[in-house]
Amino acid sequence: MLEKGWNPRLPYDTLKKDLVDIHPTASSFKIMLDKARHHANRCMQDSFKYAKERWDKIHKPPDFKIGDLVLVSTLNFNNIRGQNKLTYFFAGPFMVKELHGPNAVQLEITGELIYEHPTFPVSMLKPYSSSDKELFPLRNKTYLKSPLQKKEKERKL
């Protein structure tokens, strides 16, 4: 009854208002149902409030500004270079050109996404962070020789 949203027709509701005698069982049943309905509504409101607090605690609105660099998710694009298993999850970085409210961003599109519409929802974007040479000094160094270099060396011998 309470969780389905169906309110049954009770004997108390169908009685005429001008009757003096109402059976005590019918009136106590009506009072008990009203208390249960009120308690269920209060529990649902508390549950909604708790869920909203948890959601707001974790999910913060993005704060993109004009000129920021962002990456675009390629999950919904099917026209980007070859098979899906070989494509990157994110394309970019692209510069934010204009903000369309809190939920949409217009980008300066280049490269493989040039034929896509330049406005994207914020849920498809993530901020771009470039690698710092001071923090990661060995990131771009290669220590192994490539197979092509080995073959060229063998040919010379």
* 133 located within any domain: no
* 45 located within any domain: yes
Q: Which domain holds residue 115?
A: 69-127
Q: Which two tokens stand for residue 95?
A: 């510069």
Element (H, E) at 33: helix 24-58
Write the DSSP string, 62-118: P---TT-EEEEE-TT---SSS-GGGS-SEEEEEEEEEEETTTEEEEE--GGGTTS-S
Total domains, the chain: 2
* 47 located within any domain: yes
pTM value is: 0.52
* 137 located within any domain: no
Rounded average pLDDT per 10-residue block, the chain, 157 residues: 66 60 76 90 96 90 88 79 72 90 90 84 88 67 57 63
**Same domain for 52 and 25:** yes
